[in-house]
Amino acid sequence: MTGLTLADHEVSEASKQIAEDHKNRANEAFKAKHYQEAVDAYTAAIDANPRNAVYLSNRAFANLRLENLGSALADASAAIELDPTYAKAYYRRGDAAFALAHFKDALAEAEKQLKRARFEEALSQPDNDVPVSDTIVLDDVAIDSSYCGPALPTDENGAYFINLEFIESMLEAFKRGQTLHRRYVLWIVLEAQRLLKALPSLVHVDVPAGSHITVCGDTHGQFFDLLRIFQLGGAPSEANPYLFNGDFVDRGSWSMEVMLTLLAHKCLCPGAMHLTRGNHEAKSMNLIYGFYGEVREKCGPTAVEVFRETFCWLPLGYVLRDTVLVLHGGLFSDDGVRLDELAAIQRYREPPEAGHMCEMLWSDPKDTPGREPNKRGVGIAFGPDVTRAFLQDNGLSLLVRSHEVKDEGYEVAHDGYCITIFSAPNYCDQMGNKGAFIRFKGEDMVPAFTQFEAAPHPDVKPMKYAASMMNGMFGM
């Protein structure tokens, strides 16, 4: 353990012992995967003894597990200021900077401390001016005679279409570890892209009396947990529609299977499957957290670009029965934002670093009033007064968002006006959380929660396709 530095004599022995007690409690909470409890206990240790770099570095690590990347970066930097020889603090700072997509800083940190530069070539590639999707000729994608997986049906003119039998056979193939042929993958993604292009950036969905809609949070490539959702909530259909609220991909190692399942249902019945863009439906995140590497390995580089372009057409939010707003992240740095402004956002782009689109993907609620910089380092943290004012300004009754792991799979905050829903149980095979989804009935639009545990899955580790630096960050 590194020694104390900077005026140790200013901290009494009694305070040092209190700090150690808090640190020990924090370490136990961390081992039990109660990361927010660990952050709170490390904070108590720092309050008792602000001169110990270990406490700051440990809190940085707990914040990394919670994806509070801005806080992790600040803690690691403070630890280094206290003790410039403390190696672990440099690791934490490099991990946080890299995860925040501060690529140049992260690579410099890696070269200096970790001797890694895995993404330099990938990040230097320019974007194409002409969408790759527009250049695809499916007939040029030959199907080898050895392919024995599911095949899309064709009509009397030889054109592909999708039916429930194909989706069922596709899911069975995915369970056995098989992948679809590249031609079928491209057809599904391009057909879904065509449907998404016709939607506004903010979509209104009616939920009449006698009907319902199910809202799910992050799924993050956890395909077998997606199947558990359909097992509990029923298969998607016109009478049983779903809204998946972003972060379909990355981290979990079946992200392509999750995405193809959702897009295939969108193609089969557009009204049965609604999809919101999350902060992980972005090139920068996919390069780091696995989706880029997964699709490249399973389907080739062309498919990577077609998925990326399709992500850019995903709507940014949904309004359910003119009362419930569903978006991935949260609210805004300025007052008076109106729904028509959100509907007018030009969304076909990679997410910007600021502004309404960024905040819809990245912001988080906080318990105290007002606004402050987000602990992630992107977007803002907004209080209950901000939520109430936004809902009142727009004639809404509830905000539903995702974007954060919750131990119970959901959390009701801001006096009942803000709900977080998260649908990836035992996130990354290590968080121990439940998953959950919400069902709204058209009669009253009152949220009803269903919780579920993680489903068994084959022995394929999360982050299998991610950057090696991120694998190290999560101990995989």
- DSSP E strand stretches across 251-304: 273-275
What is residue 125's DSSP assignment? P
Specify whether the CB–CB gap between 469 and 95 falls below 8 A: yes
Enter the tokens of residue 55: 């406490």
How many beta carbons lie within 10 A of that of residue 341, not counting itself? 13
Per the listing, tokens 């040092």 go with 16
Q: Which residues are catalytic?
A: 280
Enter the tokens of residue 188: 């599904």
CA angle 242/243/247 to nearest 5° reads 130
Give residues with Cβ within 8 angstroms of 35, minimum separation 6.
29, 62, 65, 66, 431
What gap in Å lies between CA 351 and CA 358, rounded to an integer? 6
Picking from 316, 307, 257, the residue whose alpha carbon sits closest to that of residue 287 is: 307
Q: What is the dihedral of CA 141, 144, 150, 153, to 10 degrees?
A: 60
Ramachandran assignment for 449, one of left (phi > 0), alpha (psi -120 to 50 degrees), beta (any other): beta
Specify whether the CB–CB gap between 457 and 257 falls below 8 A: no
Q: Which amino acid appears at position 252 of this protein? A: G
Specify whether the CB–CB gap between 214 and 241 falls below 8 A: yes
What gap in Å lies between CA 193 and CA 307, rounded to an integer? 9
Q: At what angle do helices 53-65 and 13-31 cross, to 10 degrees?
A: 20
Element (H, E) at 413: strand 410-413
What gap in Å lies between CA 261 and CA 205, rounded to an integer? 21
Element (H, E) at 216: strand 212-216
